[in-house]
């Protein structure tokens, strides 16, 4: 039985080089970074080395990296932390309509606390128009938060232009870079980014480690109050081993990013070309401004879930969209935002590639998919 994983946007297996790098932290280097003895000092040293490595990838300073337990935590921290620290200046926040649920839900919660949220529309490719950002910035706006690359349709936003507008207007700019970090070069200074979310388990590191880049002098409230860890911005005993794994993942991405992007782009485009030969199959998202590892298709007259199940029976793991929303019965808010009808959104399938995707895996998928689509259409009540 084949076992082909094509759901790298949901999570990635841990690279064995990273497992090896983490190993000493379970037994030898297990100390608490806040302890004064040698065990503690050793852990603290490792933590600060990891901070330098992660900061380096995005041209940040080490003291601008706050380690967290997940991207969900980082995104909550960014939105709520900025909102509460700057509410005297204003209570208006701008986000896009295609953010990850952890931004969307944080925004809903902030509305309940009296903040005003503007959700920007996107075009049919999922692109935010920077001029719309400019138009929506009002006197009481304190934060703009726009996802860098969509976890569902892979569209890459014009982050640099949006950052420039925010800088000119003196507004904090946050980007959720979970899907782009380690895959696309990011320079927080050139792109005028004040806050950026990144995560380890999307780049072959362990789960339980992520970070929020917070530019020096940014006014932000901690989410977790505690023992003063992470420059007093995030209480909790630090998960040094997972963070060392995160740093190793960053190191490998830095070395392999360029070649990996080229390799995956070729595989992605081969897959897109083949799938679009299927009758009434369409690509969701932009053909060029998209992540090298992302494809998202829709097929008329079929449910995405049925496709996922049928492909799973053939040994291929894919998804209908964000792993966090795949259990919900509602159509994806991202696909609705790009103008799809609920029925079209329900017929969508996300196939995401990664470090261990081989050409033969794509060839196998290309071989089995048309037959599955044909069979499902035969029994489709929509047809
Ligand atoms: C763009 C984006 N933001 C945030 C998250 C949340 O990550 P986690 O569930 O690891 O906290 C994800 C995970 O899929 C994501 O893709």
Q: pLDDT by residue (tens digit) across 141-158?
A: 999 999 999 999 999 999
Structural contact between residues 60 and 202, judged by C-beta atoms closer than 8 angstroms: no
Pocket flag, ligand 1, residue 179 (CB < 6 Å): yes
Neighbouring C-beta atoms of residue 280, cutoff 10 Å: 12
For residue 201, give the ligand 1 atom closest to its CA: 10
Average pLDDT over residues 324-329: 60
Pocket flag, ligand 1, residue 151 (CB < 6 Å): yes
Pocket flag, ligand 1, residue 244 (CB < 6 Å): no
pLDDT score of 325: 55
Structural contact between residues 355 and 5, judged by C-beta atoms closer than 8 angstroms: no
Neighbouring C-beta atoms of residue 342, cutoff 10 Å: 12
Mutate-to-test residue for ligand 1 from 100, 150, 183, 242, highest number of ligand atoms within 8 A of CB = 100
Nearest CA to ligand 1 atom 14: 10
Pocket flag, ligand 1, residue 71 (CB < 6 Å): yes
Nearest CA to ligand 1 atom 13: 10
pLDDT exceeds 90 at position 188: yes
Which of the four pLDDT bands, split at 50, 70 and 90, describes residue 378? very high
**Catalytic site residue 324?**
yes
3-state secondary structure of 116: strand
177 Cα: distance to centroid of ligand 1 (angstroms): 9
327 Cα: distance to centroid of ligand 1 (angstroms): 15
Strands 210-214 and 281-283, sheet pairing: unpaired
Who's near 47: CB < 8 A, 6+ residues apart? Answer: 33, 67, 238, 240, 243
Structural contact between residues 163 and 193, judged by C-beta atoms closer than 8 angstroms: yes
100 Cα: distance to centroid of ligand 1 (angstroms): 7
pLDDT score of 322: 57
Which of the four pLDDT bands, split at 50, 70 and 90, describes residue 327? low
pLDDT score of 41: 98
For residue 10, give the ligand 1 atom closest to its CA: 14
pLDDT score of 323: 56
Dist CA 83 CA 64 (whole Å) = 19
Average pLDDT over residues 113-140: 98
Q: Among candidates 239, 252, 200, 202, which has minimal Cα distance to 25?
A: 239
Structural contact between residues 166 and 195, judged by C-beta atoms closer than 8 angstroms: no
Nearest CA to ligand 1 atom 5: 71
Find the range with the poorest average confidence among 115-119, 327-331, 353-357: 327-331
pLDDT score of 328: 63
Pocket flag, ligand 1, residue 149 (CB < 6 Å): no
Dist CA 173 CA 195 (whole Å) = 6
278 Cα: distance to centroid of ligand 1 (angstroms): 31
161 Cα: distance to centroid of ligand 1 (angstroms): 24
Dist CA 336 CA 95 (whole Å) = 16
pLDDT exceeds 60 at position 69: yes
CA distances from 369 to 170, 300, 323, 332 (A): 50, 14, 21, 22
Residues 201-210: pLDDT tens digits?
999 999 999 9
For residue 147, give the ligand 1 atom closest to its CA: 1
DSSP class of residue 194 equals S
pLDDT score of 382: 75
pLDDT score of 17: 98
């Amino acid at each position: 039985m084949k076992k082909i994983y094509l759901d790298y946007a949901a999570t990635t297996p841990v690279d064995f080089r990273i497992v090896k790098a983490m190993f000493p932290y379970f037994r030898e280097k297990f100390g608490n970074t806040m302890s004064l003895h040698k065990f503690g000092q050793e852990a603290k040293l490792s933590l600060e080395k990891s901070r330098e490595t992660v900061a380096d990838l995005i041209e940040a300073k080490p003291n601008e990296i706050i380690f967290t337990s997940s991207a969900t935590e980082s995104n909550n921290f960014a939105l709520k932390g900025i909102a509460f620290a700057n509410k005297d200046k204003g209570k208006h926040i701008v986000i896009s309509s295609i953010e990850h649920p952890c931004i969307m839900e944080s925004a809903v919660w902030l509305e309940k606390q009296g903040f005003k949220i503007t959700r920007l529309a996107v075009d049919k490719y999922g692109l935010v128009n920077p001029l719309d950002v400019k138009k929506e910035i009002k006197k009481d706006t304190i934060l703009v938060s726009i996802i860098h690359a969509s976890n569902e349709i892979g569209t890459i936003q014009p982050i640099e232009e949006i950052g420039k507008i925010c800088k000119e207007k003196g507004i904090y700019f946050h980007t959720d870079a979970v899907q782009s970090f380690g895959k696309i070069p990011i320079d927080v200074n050139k792109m005028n980014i004040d806050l950026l979310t990144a995560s380890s388990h999307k780049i072959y590191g362990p789960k339980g480690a992520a970070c929020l880049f917070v530019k020096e002098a940014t006014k932000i409230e901690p989410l977790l109050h505690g023992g003063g860890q992470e420059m007093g911005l995030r209480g909790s005993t630090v998960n040094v081993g997972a963070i060392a794994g995160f740093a190793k993942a960053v190191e490998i991405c830095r070395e392999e990013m360029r070649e990996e992007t080229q390799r995956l782009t070729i595989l992605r485009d081969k897959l897109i070309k083949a799938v679009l030969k299927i009758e009434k199959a369409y690509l969701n998202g932009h053909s060029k401004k998209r992540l090298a590892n992302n494809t998202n298709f829709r097929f008329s007259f079929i449910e995405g879930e049925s496709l996922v199940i049928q492909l799973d029976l053939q040994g291929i793991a894919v998804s209908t969209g964000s792993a966090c929303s795949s259990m919900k019965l509602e159509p994806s808010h991202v696909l609705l935002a790009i103008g799809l009808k609920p029925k079209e959104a329900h017929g969508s399938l996300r196939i995401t590639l990664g470090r261990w995707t081989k050409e033969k895996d794509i060839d196998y998928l290309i071989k089995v998919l048309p037959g599955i689509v044909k069979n499902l259409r035969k029994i489709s009540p929509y047809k």
